[in-house]
Structure 1
Amino acid sequence: MFSRLKGVTSPCTLACRSVHIKEKGQPLILNPRTNKGMAFTLRERQMLGLQGLLPPKIETQDIQALRFHKNLKKMSDPLQKYIYIMGVQERNEKLFYRILQDDIESLMPIVYTPTVGLACSQYGHIFQKPRGLYISISDRGHIRSIVDNWPENDVKAVVVTDGERILGLGDLGVYGMGIPVGKLCLYTACAGIRPDKCLPVCIDVGTDNNTLLRDPFYMGLYQKRDRSQLYDDLIDEFMVAITGRYGQNTLIQFEDFGNHNAFRFLRKYREKYCTFNDDIQGTAAVALSGLLSVEKVIGTSISEHTVLFLGAGEAALGIANLIVMAMKENGIAEEEAYKRIWMFDKFGLLVKGRCLFASGSPFEPVKLNDGRLFVPGQGNNAYIFPGVALAVILSSVRHISDQVFLEASKALTEQLTEEDISQGRLYPRLSSIQEVSTNIAVRVTNYLYANKMAFRYPEPEDKSSFVRSRMWKCNYDSLLPDVYEWPDFAESPPKIVE
């Protein structure tokens, strides 16, 4: 509520503690960070130059969310849904995250796997407004000035891709920008990381996709992918530029790089920067969690299992490495653990029997002939990377070890309930992913401080309260001052007359 202040002769003697804004009028509506649509209050409209620029009705965020969900139900095409949802993000950021959190189970497959892959393949055709930072190999020697062009001064998390291996679709070049954008949406929706602290980046060194090189709507360099030393120099310069502007503890997540580059960059940078590769380490953590859940179902330790992989790419090797670590914790020698890992390049293994199934993309429930209903688990990295990222950011970590992902994997498994198991799930319900991510962040934060890996001091006593109190909320803030700080020369605060 606004109040008249008796005895105050000038508004310049007051300092506001509420949300600080510079714009008035239409810029507030055009900025997705400040736009609330028809949820601006009457007083906000009067004081901020919005009166008459909006219909007279004052709406709640609940009504706005209801309108969105009603409109979405009318759509059947996944790409159309993607365009509609991401359009909300362009107009009203807090409403966008509100609707994601309302129904994350239904909307995550649209903003992330699998629809984001379709969106990436059509990125130039559905392009409306640029998001993120684009850096090309032509920019070598000037990367820091490009990073300086980003308007946010306090970025905490960067997700970067070079577009060479987008999901199972291969080389999509600059079209791969949809992946960092989608990942960072989940940073916020699942773990409450402030959206203004997140930066999606696409590195453009060309593409070997001939279809894109003939596509008139392609938005990147029309050249074959540069695989020379210039490429490595570009990535080096990028890492220096990001940490030079935002600090050495800025989290840099590598995403959908080609297998060869993914592994060597992880080896190259993991001890120099606060970085991880989600395809290798995030996938490994969520897969290991599924295996740890199997322990609960069949009652045998992971160290007693033999694990068969079809293929030996980034994900498989990352998973295998983390499984070996888990077996070693159970008392199995490293060499013996390696003997229990098998990798095949093609053809699977078929057996007859009660199947424990999970996949990265959602599947419909399966009803057996005997009437039992099983719900396939979604072994999706989204269970892992948001919570890990939140813990890393809040703890000011400079390097991320594989043990962090082992702890995250354990924390995920611990949240699997008996009810989940009875339904055939190997992971908690996706609808609970915000709480799951929070608990993972608390577990990892405890681990980081216990092992002297955190650089944020003083160390918070209650890690759970610490994590939860710093998670971004999607409810609307008042854009008007409501709390005042009295000037030092004032003998006593003026009386407030309602």
Structure 2
Amino acid sequence: MQPLTQCLFLFSTHSCNYTCTHGMAFTLQERQILGIHGMLPPKVESQDIQAMRFQKNLKKMTDPLEKYIYLMGIQERNERLFYRVLMEDIEELMPIVYTPTVGLACTQYGHIFRKPKGLFISILDRGHVRSILDNWPETSVAAVVVTDGERILGLGDLGCYGMGIPVGKLCLYTACAGIRPEKCLPVVIDVGTDNETLLKDPFYMGLYQRRDRSQAYDDLIDEFMEAVVEKYGQDTLIQFEDFGNHNAFRFLRKYREKYCTFNDDIQGTASVALAGLLAAQRAIGKPLTEHRVLFLGAGEAALGIASLIVMAMMELGLTQAEAREKIWMYDAHGLLVKDRAHKTDANQEVFLHDSPGTVQTFLDAVNTIKPTAIIGVAGAGPLFTHDVIKAMGSLNERPIIFALSNPTNKAECTAEEAYTITNGRCLFASGSPFDAVTLSDGRVFIPGQGNNAYIFPGVAMAVVLSGVRHICDTVFLEAAKTLAEQLSDKELAEGRLYPPLSNIREVSLQIAVKVMEFVYAKGMAFRYPEPLDKNGFVRATAWNTDYDSLLPDTYDWPGVSFSPIK
């Protein structure tokens, strides 16, 4: 740990609760009333100065994990200051509080742990989940993000260490869409881990046992869902995050008609990827229905994206069968075809095709199927090789290349590789951020980041404000169309397929408004009276970072005098 970080750590562990809310911004009266006068330096400091100090300290740090630790420490001590700085520099700081650095933080969670930020519910707590929820200090929770840590980004089973993901997601609920932070609850369901390294790590903070895959696991999830709704209400949003493929799909099917729930890895990823394709069709001038898409990977992300593409194509006039014929998938066992030796699961069967011939590699699949777009979601590293990218450039005037796997070292290719090999003709998007690319002829391309953060905060804000009980896939179709509409022609010409992350707050609010309009129009909203001016309502509701006054209300009693009677 760097000396500066060590000093900040020691300070944070010894500061009292009151001084952790405003820092030196407490007025003299507030300090006197709260009994903290003298516990702070005499200067009453503005939030502007606090933010300047915060930003200056961040700029001194070069290590992303050190920045993460510092940022999370500020969140613990001064929540409004944390969100102000995050919102003002979201493009720079999102990769720290979210992917890719949050993945590194999860792998080191037990080593950098300072203060719990959510609820830890273990398989040993069966029968007592409601009492654990009762221990959470906030009584009015509107949104829960829950993980069991089995499939954290592209890093695999991190068990209890997965808590960093719900914490990071909910940071973006607030920073991007203005959902009040006290309305958000991060949760880890700890049922053990199959990660051998963690089971031997003395700093691991979860259960030292193999992952429980028995009926007890399902019973615990059932109990958790029931307890959340019983405590916080039927319209409480429950977002599933980074569950293993098998559990992700079956829980989505099991719970979507019973609870207000969605799976971001399936539906959020699908929405942001579709938005990128809708933007690409603007650049190419070729309708979505004329594209052929080849996926590298056939798990929850690929299947979620494919299903939403099919829905979008059907809206444009294709039948479901016609749309599915345009979707192909290639996984670790080869191309998904009807006669392949390796067994496919039920979720993949709708995308099985007759074999197109001998396909032994992903490059063979590209040359045989001749896709207009390749989408990488396998989390297996740089499998969009030079030859694959070159083949896409030979087959298409404007090849679409989406390397969406996270974190950065799991990406299928870099932005520089995609633009250089195709001589700037490709339409590129990635899951993790890449810097702008300058080609030898001086052209500059700004790669789009297909980040779920464009989608889930705005959708969540709309769902929470509208009282939606069940979230259908058409909500994510509407969100995708709205996101694509936010991209200007100038930004599209720069190589972007998404608006700049610096505009994500406005983009999220626009998505919240459009989704609100959609759910009320379709009778999916249950919060009445319906706001007539939904745009004004969303913006007025969005949380801001101004400090609240902690002084008691004062007022005069009209006509009453406390002066002595003469």
What TM-score do the two structures reach when normalised by structure 1? 0.91
| 2: CA distance, partners of 1:49 / 1:143 | 37
The 5 Å alignment of 1:37-52 reads 37-52=23-38
Superposition RMSD on alpha carbons, in Å? 1.6
Partner of 1:374: 445
Equivalent in 147, 154, 169 of residue 161 of structure 1: 147
Partner of 1:127: 113
* Structure 1 pair 158–422 and aligned structure 2 pair: CA distance change class (3 A): same
- 8 Å CA contact 1:163–1:177 kept in 2: the answer is yes
- CA drift of 1:369 comes to 1.6
Partner of 1:238: 224
Spell out, residue by residue over 1:187-242, the C-alpha distance to the aligned partner (whole angstroms, 9 max, x if none). Answer: 00101000000000000000000100000000011000000111000000000011
Partner of 2:126: 140
Q: Counterpart of 2:239 in 1: which secondary structure? A: strand
Structure 1 letter corresponding to 2:482? A
The 5 Å alignment of 1:16-415 reads 30-31=16-17, 35-345=21-331, 347-348=362-363, 349=366, 350=388, 351-352=392-393, 353=422, 354-415=425-486
Structure 2 letter corresponding to 1:210? E
- 8 Å CA contact 2:18–2:36 kept in 1: the answer is no
Partner of 2:401: none
Q: Counterpart of 1:159 in 2: which secondary structure? A: strand
Unmatched runs of 5 consecutive residues or more in structure 1: 1-28
- CA drift of 1:255 comes to 0.2
Partner of 1:476: 547
Spell out, residue by residue over 1:258-316, the C-alpha distance to the aligned partner (whole angstroms, 9 max, x if none). Answer: 00000000000000000000000000000000000011101111111111100101100
Does 1:433 find its partner at 2:504? yes
- 8 Å CA contact 2:141–2:182 kept in 1: the answer is yes
| 1: CA distance, partners of 2:25 / 2:521 | 45
- 8 Å CA contact 1:33–1:94 kept in 2: the answer is no
Of stretches 365-374 and 31-40 in structure 1, the one that deviates more from structure 2 is 31-40
Structure 1 letter corresponding to 2:505? Q
Partner of 1:455: 526
Q: Counterpart of 1:155 in 2: which secondary structure? A: coil
Structure 2 letter corresponding to 1:54? L
* Structure 1 pair 263–423 and aligned structure 2 pair: CA distance change class (3 A): same
Structure 2 letter corresponding to 1:121? T
- CA drift of 1:495 comes to 9.0
| 1: CA distance, partners of 2:233 / 2:22 | 32
Structure 1 letter corresponding to 2:430? S
| 2: CA distance, partners of 1:305 / 1:382 | 26
| 2: CA distance, partners of 1:99 / 1:261 | 37
- 8 Å CA contact 1:32–1:91 kept in 2: the answer is no
Structure 2 letter corresponding to 1:409? A
Structure 2 letter corresponding to 1:475? D
| 2: CA distance, partners of 1:206 / 1:430 | 36
Structure 2 letter corresponding to 1:301? P
- CA drift of 1:47 comes to 2.9
Structure 2 letter corresponding to 1:392? V
| 2: CA distance, partners of 1:226 / 1:471 | 40
What TM-score do the two structures reach when normalised by structure 2? 0.80
- CA drift of 1:343 comes to 0.7
| 2: CA distance, partners of 1:99 / 1:479 | 22
Partner of 1:423: 494
* Structure 1 pair 192–186 and aligned structure 2 pair: CA distance change class (3 A): same
| 2: CA distance, partners of 1:413 / 1:32 | 44
Partner of 2:376: none
Spell out, residue by residue over 1:409-453, the C-alpha distance to the aligned partner (whole angstroms, 9 max, x if none). Answer: 011001001111111000000000000000000000000100010
Equivalent residue pairs, number:
464
- Answer 1 or 2: higher relative contact order, Cα 8 Å, separation at least 6: 1
- Kindly, what percent of the aligned residue pairs are identical? 72
- 8 Å CA contact 1:163–1:171 kept in 2: the answer is yes
| 1: CA distance, partners of 2:292 / 2:18 | 51
Q: Counterpart of 1:202 in 2: which secondary structure? A: strand
- CA drift of 1:35 comes to 1.3
Spell out, residue by residue over 1:370-396, the C-alpha distance to the aligned partner (whole angstroms, 9 max, x if none). Answer: 211000101000000000000000001
Structure 1 letter corresponding to 2:194? D
- CA drift of 1:483 comes to 6.1
Structure 2 letter corresponding to 1:66? M
- CA drift of 1:49 comes to 2.1
- CA drift of 1:34 comes to 6.6
| 1: CA distance, partners of 2:117 / 2:19 | 14
- 8 Å CA contact 2:266–2:304 kept in 1: the answer is yes
- 8 Å CA contact 1:191–1:437 kept in 2: the answer is yes
| 1: CA distance, partners of 2:96 / 2:19 | 22
| 2: CA distance, partners of 1:494 / 1:324 | 72
Structure 2 letter corresponding to 1:443? K
| 2: CA distance, partners of 1:32 / 1:176 | 30
- CA drift of 1:132 comes to 0.3
| 2: CA distance, partners of 1:368 / 1:494 | 79
Partner of 2:374: none
Q: Counterpart of 2:21 in 1: which secondary structure? A: coil
- 8 Å CA contact 1:254–1:277 kept in 2: the answer is yes
Q: Counterpart of 2:61 in 1: which secondary structure? A: coil
Structure 1 letter corresponding to 2:61? M
Structure 1 letter corresponding to 2:307? N
- 8 Å CA contact 2:20–2:76 kept in 1: the answer is no
Q: Counterpart of 1:220 in 2: which secondary structure? A: coil
- CA drift of 1:30 comes to 3.1
- 8 Å CA contact 1:32–1:89 kept in 2: the answer is no
Structure 2 letter corresponding to 1:62? D
Partner of 2:403: none
Q: Counterpart of 1:30 in 2: which secondary structure? A: coil
